[in-house]
Structure 1
Amino acid sequence: MPGQTPLTGRTALVTGSGAGIGRAVLERFAREGARVIVADRDAAAAEEVAAGVGASARYVIVDISDETSVRAAFENLGAEGWAPDVVVANAGVQLFGEDDRVADLDLEVWRRTIETNFTGTFLTLKYAVRTMRDRSGGSIIVVGSPTAITGEGADFTAYSASKAGIHGLVRTVAAGYAADGIRVNTVVPAYTETALVTTISDDPTAHSAIVGRIPLGRAGTPRDVEGVMVLLASDDGAFATGASFAVDGGMSTL
């Protein structure tokens, strides 16, 4: 219809959208016509982002590693008329010990990483699927990583393992719920310059080392990721499910 944008009429929830890629994607969804839900464990950041978007946004405080918190968020949203038909599972952590290769990896770093990244994504999908089954379908987009598919994660054992698990989880859930009209896909960004990675972007040596491994010769930006997210959230991506979309400058494919 005239005047409509790709996400008009949709309600989209983005976890970890108080900052970084999550925030950029959520704000782009709002510009494309969606009602948006800022889901973050940082209450001040979530409130700020929602206020910046305006009346078409609200926020929920959620710890994705806590099933009670995730269940309450989805149930409360449904009761208030904000049940999402688009969910982006973006929240995650990247924790470091003194040596993160497997022989010396601290067990607590492993546990916390898996609990947040893998179990947290599982819980997000669990309650997103329950919500979408009741609404005859929807789109779930999970943020993966090149470290799940290549040797890029050689020094990040826990993080790489958690992301590899996520990639497998997406394929399984996509196959299991296709008949319910629920599409599930993975978007795989490379190193993306946001306010959260200033420790790298402000270090010329570290920045050059990372960019040097990206065939297109530059770091990613949130804008590089947003467009693919809009595609998968909208009717333009209606025939895509169980797929992995690399937005990594060629890092995982060349």
Structure 2
Amino acid sequence: MGALQGKTALVTGSGTGIGRAVAERFAREGARVVIADRDAGAAEATAGAIGETAHAAVMDISDEESVSSAFASLEAAGWAPDVVVANAGVQLFGQDAKAADLDLEVWNRTIGINLTGTFLTVKHAVRSMRSQGGGSIILTGSPTGLNGEGAEFTAYSASKAGIHGLARTVAAAYASDNIRVNTVVPAYTETTLVTTISSDPESRKAIVGRIPLGRAGTPHDVEGIMVFLASDDGAFATGSLFAVDGGMTML
């Protein structure tokens, strides 16, 4: 029996990358998994690869009506999640910049998706979980929200710092409702989100050189901690930040 047997988990941004890897692992651990993504094709493809224990849901996390409708539809269909991984986000390479050079539109778009979108996901997850007697919410953070790693990415770094603070605030507010909220911080992880870096040997060498374990992260590196936090083994963990970053934030 898997660690998540009997649970239903929703993972945002799970059409690709870290979200897809986590959703697939959750399914292998026995959970029913909602593949939530604004790209309907990617969501359907991931759900199809997992099989009958997966359900595709189109969700644009920056649009509250989209988020609200998705949660309502899932509840009506018997797929209300007791685990939610708020993972979806953007990093606007070539547009995000140091503060004095950052265009307001880029700031607003990044914050709107990463921070406001995470807030909306959490808001409706909490509403759903309160009626079910509790649950586990897991946010995807970043080293850029903890140290100077994101000096060239003001909007992205600020959005992730906001996510870290949001997790602690919501954890404190809803602990009495048996809702746990934690943040997982991956290292630089090679997915389609960071092809600008991974396709440039010098840029890649520079960032991997700042990881003490000496390699880039992969989506599979964060699966284990996500399973722990989603499972009953993590029942006493809330309001915490779990770095799975090869030592990147210890320096």
Q: In the TM superposition, what is the alpha-carbon distance from 1:192 to its structure 2 partner? A: 1.0
Aligned residue for 1:147?
Answer: 144
Tell me, yes or no, if the aligned pair for 2:96 and 2:155 is still in contact at 8 Å: no
Range moving further from structure 2, 242-251 or 99-108: 99-108
Residue 220 (structure 1) aligned to one of 217, 220, 226: 217
Q: Secondary structure at the match of 1:64?
A: coil
Instruction: Verify the 8 A CA contact 1:97 1:106 in the aligned structure 2.
Output: no
Is this contact kept in 2: 1:62–1:69, CA < 8 A? yes
Q: Deviations over 1:18-72 (max 9, x none)?
A: 0000000000000000000000000111100001100000111010000000000
- 1:52 aligns to 2:73 (yes or no): no
| TM-score after normalising by structure 2 | 0.98
> Is the Cα contact below 8 Å between 1:19 and 1:196 reproduced in 2?
no
SS in 2 for 1:60: strand
Note if contact 1:184-1:242 (Cα within 8 Å) is conserved in structure 2. Answer: yes
Q: What is the CA–CA distance in structure 2 between the aligned matches of 1:23 and 1:36, rounded to whole Å?
A: 10
CA 1:97–1:199: 2 relative to 1, 3 Å: closer
Please, what is the CA RMSD of the aligned residues? Answer: 1.1
CA distance in 1 between counterparts of 2:237 and 2:187 reads 21
CA contact (8 A) 1:96 1:109 kept: no
Deviation at 1:222, TM superposition (A): 1.5
Structure 2 partner of 1:177: 174
> In terms of mean alpha carbon deviation, does 90-99 or 119-128 score higher?
90-99
Which AA in structure 2 matches 1:155?
E
Q: 1:144-176 CA deviation, whole Å, 9 max, x = no partner?
A: 000001000111000000111111100000000
After TM superposition, the score normalised by the length of structure 1 is: 0.96
Aligned to 1:124: 121
Aligned residue for 2:58? 61
For structure 1, which segment, 89-98 or 210-219, has the greater mean C-alpha deviation from structure 2 after superposition?
89-98
Q: Is the 8 A contact 2:96 2:156 kept in 1?
A: no
In 1: Cα distance, 2:58 partner to 2:95 partner: 32
- Tell me the distance in 2 between the aligned counterparts of 1:5 and 1:91: 25
Identity, in percent, stands at 74
CA distance in 2 between partners of 1:117 and 1:99 (Å)? 13
Unaligned stretches of 5+ residues in structure 1: none
Q: Map 1:18-29 onto structure 2 (within 5 A).
A: 18-29=15-26
1:135 equivalent in structure 2: 132
Q: Deviations over 1:188-247 (max 9, x none)?
A: 001112344333223221111110011111111112100000000001111100000001
SS at match of 1:174: helix
- How far apart are the structure 1 equivalents of 2:12 and 2:117? 10
Inter-CA distance 120–35: structure 2 relative to 1 (3 Å threshold): same
TM-fit CA distance, 1:98: 5.2
Q: Could you say what secondary structure the match of 1:39 adopts? A: strand
Q: 1:75-123 CA distances to partner (integer Å, 9 max, x unpaired)?
A: 1100110000000000001113456101110010000000000100000
Other structure's SS at 1:69 match: helix
Q: 1:16 aligns with which of 13, 29, 44?
A: 13
Task: Tell me which moved more, 110-119 or 90-99.
Answer: 90-99
What is the match of residue 187 of structure 1?
A: 184
Change in 2 beyond 3 A, CA 1:48/1:246: same
Please tell me whether the aligned partners of residues 90 and 193 of structure 2 are also in contact (alpha carbons under 8 angstroms): no
* Alignment-derived partner of residue 99 in structure 2: 102
Aligned-partner SS, 1:183: strand
Find the aligned partners of 1:147 and 1:192 in 2 and give their Cα distance. 13
Gaps of 5+ in 2: none
Q: Report the equivalent of 2:36.
A: 39
1:88 aligns with 2:85: yes
Q: Distance in 1 between matches of 2:13 and 2:34?
A: 11
